[in-house]
């Protein structure tokens, strides 16, 4: 016998708010993917660079972010970014910085993970390709841009997409900064109405459906790419 | 390029603790906006309704204060930004300037006064227990050896820990993140009682699936005054806020606001808290002040 | 407001009891380690079992459903479901028995089961790819020698697969320490939670956060060093790098 008496009546009225939350989640995810790939590519190239201080900086950055919990990073940015930006003209300390601090924290954190994926991708391209590009008279930049990176990106695509799905799930952690992302919104509605159990199950089901569909799609794509 | 960027990061990092904070009124005038801290589920003080608008007793008074600030600064328009806070982060957010003022359900006490300032009090509560009618719990002494829940970061949490140590009750204390989570812990039988400010307990009770199953009991362990939190030692700002609150109380407006939130059905589900005006509250309305009880 | 550094605050006696704030932090560190290590043990056992099932055609579907379920729901949501929802779905007597436990034990158990299950799905997938990477001849040779299928797995395939997947497992092992920080959201006073609590009690946010960050980095360094040594030791000559 189950002891719990379910009451789902809170959900229909809360759907607009939950949808707003989902938009916040998607915003953070997209931002982190974009910044993560761009900054991650730069980091990966720095890490592989022969300039020692560049590669040290990148290694330090990547190792720092990969050794601490995302939750801690988000708390750091939640606490610190408002202070940091006090000195920037045009941004008053009162500006609601939760969304931007979550985005910045996320993007910087995920870049470290993207950097490692991309580094592996670059390393997977045979050295001869780069040598051939140089022999054709290309400089390092051109060789990277036209020869190495396009192939590396293609190889990494499934991994990059999988990481994006993980990232989408990880956004739920912004809950610690009281930001109403999808999970935060569900939690808040549940907390207000005394219906946490129902809202948590609902949130879990929504995440599952979205992530499962997305990862099936990624599997399908990567099979087609191989074929 | 990257090196310069790294230097910039490093510099920001070093400079960060030294950044100065402007007086609040100047900041509000210059930016044309004010940032209000509010709670999300402190029924009926500060919480979301069905349209996710912030409503409640404290919220209504905070808006009166904002109007007074606007008049004081002779601003034609004042943009209002709302930031939800929790019991755990509200003090840091005032300290780091992320919010200018928070009116919710924050107790004014001397310990917190070391970190923030408090306005004239909004409300006076006693800390008591919510329990099942059938639990047999009548007072704090009945809690020995039992699981008791309270909300993290509240004065009740500290009080409960202190009672537990002083009286050797051997309670297991659960600290939930917000009042709704505390009540869930109680409702699902993980704890026999929920210690919190009586007004908030009435709020949670009203949300219950069967309100008749629940009762508020126990000798108040403390009387506490809720005030609005303000940045520490900003005298000019505090004066404007205090005067606005005193005006609301002496004009009789406050009593109307009280009856709207404590004696009538409130959103989102039309609950009625039926929490009559206490003697402490009558005294406060007659003589507004910013005294902490402890 | 200028920030005044007060590192000595960590050595001051804490608000309640005789401990110092640093003592609080160390007790948080201890919980983080206990939680992560015990969850890792569970993940290894469960993950191995599932990884094997995943390569046996008859059972592979069941294991796949399991993996998809735990991979496609955010860890935080899983934790809340374990902690808040599951006890309500259990038969009343079980749920009540759980709820009568000491609350800290309840939090620990929920976090332990959550991390264990979550990570086991990942271990399962790693191990499956390890087993599938072995030449089919190994399995056939085991069977041809007269070993039963379970024996073949136990004596031939798993020892090889284990050694092959050790490097990717190291990163899952590191992840479990980091993931354990979500337990702070249900009130378990592990390392990250102690850091937050210290911010409240000491009003010195940077000191406590820097200290917590350093502790996590130390865990990371220690685990990486140990696992690196283990990897060297069990490397299969002629396989991989």
Contact assignment for B188 to C16 by CB distance below 8 Å: no
Pairing status of strand B265-266 against strand B172-176:
unpaired
pLDDT at C93 (0 to 100): 87
Contact assignment for C77 to A79 by CB distance below 8 Å: no
Contact assignment for C76 to A183 by CB distance below 8 Å: yes
pLDDT at C240 (0 to 100): 52
Indicate the angle between helix axes B2-15 and A52-67, nearest 10 degrees: 50
Query: A2 at the C interface (CB within 8 A)?
Result: yes
Query: B146 at the C interface (CB within 8 A)?
Result: no
Residues of chain A contacting residue C92, judged by C-beta atoms under 8 Å apart = 1-3
pLDDT exceeds 90 at position C197: no
Phi, psi dihedral angles at A150 (to 5 degrees)? -60, -40
Average pLDDT estimate for B212-231: 93
Q: Which of C15, C103, C106, C197 to mutate to test the interface with B (most CBs of B within 10 A)?
A: C103
Partner residue opposite A71 with nearest CB, options C69, C192, C217: C192
List beta partners, residue C40. none
3-state secondary structure (DSSP) of residue B197: strand
Q: How far apart are CA B210 and CA B192, in angstroms?
A: 16
Looking at the domain assignment, is residue C43 inside a domain?
A: yes
With a CB cutoff of 8 Å and minimum separation 6, the contacts of C159 are none
Contact at 8 Å (CB) between B41 and A191? yes
pLDDT at C78 (0 to 100): 97
Name the residue of chain C whose CA is nearest to B174's CA: C103
**Dihedral sign from CA coordinates of A100, A103, A106, A111:** negative
Partner residue opposite A46 with nearest CB, options B2, B96, B99: B2
Contact at 8 Å (CB) between B115 and B70? no
Average pLDDT estimate for B181-185: 91
With a CB cutoff of 8 Å and minimum separation 6, the contacts of C129 are C165
Pairing status of strand B46-48 against strand B54-55:
antiparallel
Name the residue of chain A whose CA is nearest to C220's CA: A67
- For B17-50, letters b (16+ CB in 10 Å) and e give eebebbebbebbbebebbbbbbbbbbbbbbbbeb
Using CA atoms, how far residue C187 sits from A160, B234, C197, C199, in Å, is 34, 35, 11, 15
With a CB cutoff of 8 Å and minimum separation 6, the contacts of A101 are A77, A78, A81, A82, A177
* Total Cβ atoms within 10 A of residue B150: 27
Q: How far apart are CA B177 and CA B179, in angstroms?
A: 7
Looking at the domain assignment, is residue C157 inside a domain?
A: yes
Partner residue opposite A87 with nearest CB, options B2, B3, B19: B19
With a CB cutoff of 8 Å and minimum separation 6, the contacts of B236 are B23, B25
Q: Which of C32, C33, C74 to mutate to test the interface with A (most CBs of A within 10 A)?
A: C74
Looking at the domain assignment, is residue C4 inside a domain?
A: no
Residues of chain A contacting residue B98, judged by C-beta atoms under 8 Å apart = 82, 93-94, 97
pLDDT at C241 (0 to 100): 45
Residues of chain C contacting residue B191, judged by C-beta atoms under 8 Å apart = 103
Average pLDDT estimate for B176-197: 90
Size of interface A-C (CB pairs under 8 A): 110
Partner residue opposite B165 with nearest CB, options C16, C102, C203: C16
pLDDT exceeds 80 at position B221: yes
Looking at the domain assignment, is residue C11 inside a domain?
A: no
Query: A197 at the C interface (CB within 8 A)?
Result: yes
Contact assignment for C88 to B188 by CB distance below 8 Å: yes
Per the model's pLDDT, the better-predicted residue between B102 and B22 turns out to be B102
Average pLDDT estimate for C115-122: 97
Contact assignment for A79 to C216 by CB distance below 8 Å: no
Q: What is the mean pLDDT of chain B?
A: 88
DSSP string covering A66-119: HHS-HHHHHHHHHHHHHHHGGGSTT--TTS--HHHHHHHHHHHHHHHHHHHHHH
pLDDT at B7 (0 to 100): 47
**Candidate from A82-96, A158-172, B4-18, B66-80 with smallest mean pLDDT:** B4-18
Chains that touch B (3 or more CB pairs under 8 A): A, C
Query: C87 at the B interface (CB within 8 A)?
Result: yes
Average pLDDT estimate for B250-264: 95
| Terminal CA-CA length for chain C | 55
pLDDT at A94 (0 to 100): 46
Contact assignment for A94 to B30 by CB distance below 8 Å: no
The band of A3, judged by pLDDT with boundaries at 50, 70 and 90, is low
Looking at the domain assignment, is residue C31 inside a domain?
A: yes
> Structure tokens of C113?
């089961």
Size of interface A-B (CB pairs under 8 A): 100
**Dihedral sign from CA coordinates of A48, A54, A56, A62:** negative
ipTM entry: 0.89
| Among B64, B58, B63, residue whose Cα is nearest residue B104 | B58
Per-residue pLDDT reduced to its tens digit, C17-37:
678 888 889 999 999 999 999
Average pLDDT estimate for B172-189: 88
pLDDT at B251 (0 to 100): 94
| Among C19, C74, C34, residue whose Cα is nearest residue C188 | C34
Q: How far apart are CA B122 and CA B105, in angstroms?
A: 9
Contact assignment for A191 to B180 by CB distance below 8 Å: yes
pLDDT exceeds 80 at position C7: yes
Average pLDDT estimate for C127-154: 90
Per the model's pLDDT, the better-predicted residue between C11 and A39 turns out to be A39
pLDDT at A24 (0 to 100): 93
pLDDT exceeds 70 at position A181: yes
Q: In percent, how much of chain B has pLDDT > 90? A: 64
DSSP string covering C162-192: HHHHHHHHHHHHHHHHHHGGGGGGGT---HH
What pTM was computed for the model? 0.81
Contact assignment for C209 to A67 by CB distance below 8 Å: no
Domain total in chain C: 1
Contact assignment for C196 to B88 by CB distance below 8 Å: yes
> Structure tokens of B118?
């408090």
Residues of chain B contacting residue A84, judged by C-beta atoms under 8 Å apart = 12, 16
Cis amide linkage into residue B268, ω under 30° from 0: yes
Contact assignment for A211 to C89 by CB distance below 8 Å: no
Query: C8 at the B interface (CB within 8 A)?
Result: no
Q: What is the mean pLDDT of chain C?
A: 90
Partner residue opposite C213 with nearest CB, options A72, A201, A207: A72
Per the model's pLDDT, the better-predicted residue between C236 and C34 turns out to be C34
Contact assignment for C77 to A75 by CB distance below 8 Å: no
User: Distance, in angstroms, between B182 CA and closest chain C CA?
Assistant: 11
pLDDT at B56 (0 to 100): 95
Residues of chain B contacting residue C196, judged by C-beta atoms under 8 Å apart = 88
Domains of chain A in start order, with CATH, are: 14-83+96-226 (1.10.3720.10)
| Terminal CA-CA length for chain A | 51
Contact at 8 Å (CB) between A6 and A198? yes
Name the residue of chain A whose CA is nearest to B28's CA: A94
Contact assignment for B92 to C199 by CB distance below 8 Å: yes
pLDDT exceeds 80 at position C145: yes
Residues of chain C contacting residue B19, judged by C-beta atoms under 8 Å apart = 1-2
Average pLDDT estimate for A145-158: 88
Query: C92 at the A interface (CB within 8 A)?
Result: yes
Contact assignment for B177 to C185 by CB distance below 8 Å: yes
pLDDT at A87 (0 to 100): 57
Looking at the domain assignment, is residue C133 inside a domain?
A: yes
Contact assignment for A67 to C81 by CB distance below 8 Å: no
Q: How far apart are CA A76 and CA C171, in angstroms?
A: 24
Partner residue opposite B92 with nearest CB, options C106, C185, C205: C205
Query: A125 at the C interface (CB within 8 A)?
Result: no
CATH of the domain at C100: 1.10.3720.10
Average pLDDT estimate for B29-52: 89
What DSSP designation does A148 have? I
Partner residue opposite C99 with nearest CB, options B153, B161, B189: B189
Residues of chain C contacting residue B88, judged by C-beta atoms under 8 Å apart = 196, 200
Using CA atoms, how far residue C116 sits from A60, C42, C69, in Å, is 30, 5, 14
Q: Where are the beta strands (DSSP E) in chain B?
A: 33-38, 41-42, 46-48, 54-55, 79-84, 101-102, 107-108, 117-132, 147-151, 172-176, 193-197, 214-217, 223-230, 265-266, 271-272
| Among A9, A56, A45, A55, residue whose Cα is nearest residue A144 | A45
Using CA atoms, how far residue B11 sits from A213, B4, B5, B7, B15, in Å, is 45, 10, 10, 6, 6
pLDDT at B148 (0 to 100): 94
| Among C69, C84, B269, residue whose Cα is nearest residue A199 | C84
Query: B165 at the C interface (CB within 8 A)?
Result: yes
What DSSP designation does B77 have? -
Average pLDDT estimate for A35-50: 93
Per the model's pLDDT, the better-predicted residue between A152 and C111 turns out to be C111
List beta partners, residue B197. B127
Residues of chain C contacting residue A4, judged by C-beta atoms under 8 Å apart = 88-89
Average pLDDT estimate for B190-218: 90
pLDDT exceeds 50 at position C153: yes
Name the residue of chain C whose CA is nearest to A176's CA: C185
The band of A86, judged by pLDDT with boundaries at 50, 70 and 90, is low
pLDDT at B10 (0 to 100): 46
Phi, psi dihedral angles at B126 (to 5 degrees)? -120, 145
Q: How far apart are CA B94 and CA B119, in angstroms?
A: 13
Contact assignment for B172 to C15 by CB distance below 8 Å: no
Average pLDDT estimate for B124-147: 94
Residues of chain A contacting residue B180, judged by C-beta atoms under 8 Å apart = 190-194, 196
The band of B178, judged by pLDDT with boundaries at 50, 70 and 90, is confident
Which residue segment(s) compose the domain that C60 sits in? 23-234
């Amino acid at each position: 016998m189950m002891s719990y008496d379910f009451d789902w009546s809170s959900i229909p009225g809360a759907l607009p708010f939950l949808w707003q939350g989902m938009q916040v989640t998607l915003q953070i995810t997209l931002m982190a993917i974009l910044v993560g790939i761009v900054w991650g590519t730069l980091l990966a190239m720095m890490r592989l660079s022969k300039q020692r201080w560049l590669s040290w900086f990148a290694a330090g950055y990547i190792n720092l972010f990969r050794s601490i919990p995302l939750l801690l990073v988000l708390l750091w940015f939640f606490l610190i970014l408002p202070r940091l930006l006090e000195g920037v003209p045009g941004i008053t300390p009162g500006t609601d910085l939760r969304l931007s601090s979550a985005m910045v924290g996320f993007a910087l954190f995920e870049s470290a993970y993207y950097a490692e994926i991309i580094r592996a991708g670059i390393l997977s391209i045979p050295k001869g390709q780069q040598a051939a590009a140089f022999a054709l008279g290309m400089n390092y930049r051109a060789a990277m841009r036209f020869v190495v990176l396009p192939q590396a990106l293609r190889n990494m695509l499934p991994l990059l997409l999988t990481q994006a799905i993980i990232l989408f799930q990880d956004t739920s952690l912004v809950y610690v900064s009281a930001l109403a992302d999808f999970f935060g919104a569900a939690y808040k509605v549940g907390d207000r109405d005394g219906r946490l159990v129902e809202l948590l199950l609902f949130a879990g089901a929504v995440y599952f459906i979205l992530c499962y569909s997305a990862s099936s799609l990624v599997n399908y794509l990567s099979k087609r790419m191989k074929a | 390029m990257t090196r310069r960027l790294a230097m910039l990061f490093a510099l920001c990092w070093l400079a960060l603790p030294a950044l100065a904070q402007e007086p609040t009124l100047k900041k509000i005038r210059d930016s044309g906006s004010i940032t209000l801290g509010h709670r999300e589920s402190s029924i009926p003080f500060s919480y979301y309704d069905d349209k996710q608008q912030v409503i409640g007793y404290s919220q209504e008074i905070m808006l009166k204060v904002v109007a007074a600030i606007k008049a004081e600064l002779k601003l034609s328009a004042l943009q209002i930004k709302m930031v939800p806070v929790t019991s755990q982060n509200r003090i840091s957010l005032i300290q780091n300037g992320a919010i200018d003022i928070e009116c919710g359900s924050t107790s004014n006490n001397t310990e917190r006064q070391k970190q923030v300032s408090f306005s004239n009090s909004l409300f006076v509560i006693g800390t008591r227990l919510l329990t099942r009618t059938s639990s047999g719990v009548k007072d704090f002494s009945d809690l020995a050896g039992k699981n008791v829940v309270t909300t993290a970061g509240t004065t009740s949490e500290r009080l409960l820990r202190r009672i537990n140590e002083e009286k050797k009750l051997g309670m297991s204390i659960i600290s939930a993140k917000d009042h709704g989570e505390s009540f869930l812990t109680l409702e699902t039988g993980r704890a026999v009682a929920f210690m919190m400010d009586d007004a908030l307990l009435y709020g949670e009770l009203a949300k219950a699936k069967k309100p008749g199953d629940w009762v508020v009991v126990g000798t108040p362990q403390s009387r506490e005054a809720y005030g609005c939190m303000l940045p520490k030692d900003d005298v000019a700002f505090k004066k404007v806020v205090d005067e606005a609150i005193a005006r609301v109380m002496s004009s009789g407006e406050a009593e109307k606001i009280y009856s709207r939130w404590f004696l009538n059905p409130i959103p989102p589900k039309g609950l009625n808290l039926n929490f009559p005006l206490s003697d402490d509250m009558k005294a406060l309305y007659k003589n507004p002040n910013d005294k902490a009880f402890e | 407001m200028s920030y005044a550094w007060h590192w000595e605050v960590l050595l001051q006696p804490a608000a309640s009891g005789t401990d110092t704030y640093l003592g609080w932090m160390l007790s948080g560190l201890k919980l983080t380690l206990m939680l992560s290590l015990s969850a890792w043990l569970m993940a290894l056992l469960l993950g191995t079992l599932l990884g094997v099932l995943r390569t046996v055609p008859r059972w592979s579907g069941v294991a796949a459903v399991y993996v998809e379920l735990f991979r496609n729901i955010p860890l935080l949501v899983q934790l809340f479901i374990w902690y808040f929802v599951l006890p309500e779905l259990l038969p009343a007597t079980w749920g009540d028995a759980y709820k009568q436990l000491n609350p800290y034990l309840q939090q620990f158990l929920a976090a332990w089961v959550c991390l264990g299950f979550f990570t086991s799905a990942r271990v399962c997938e790693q191990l499956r790819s390890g087993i599938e990477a072995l030449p089919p001849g190994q399995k056939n040779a085991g069977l041809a020698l007269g070993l039963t299928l379970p024996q073949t797995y136990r004596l031939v395939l798993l020892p090889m697969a284990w050694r092959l997947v050790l490097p990717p497992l190291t990163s899952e092992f590191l992840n479990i320490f980091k993931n354990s920080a979500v337990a702070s959201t249900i009130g378990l006073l592990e390392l990250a939670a102690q850091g937050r609590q210290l911010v409240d009690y000491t009003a010195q946010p940077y000191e406590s956060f820097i200290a917590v960050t350093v502790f996590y980095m130390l865990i990371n360094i220690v685990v990486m060093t140990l696992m690196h040594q283990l990897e060297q030791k069990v490397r299969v000559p002629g396989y991989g790098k």
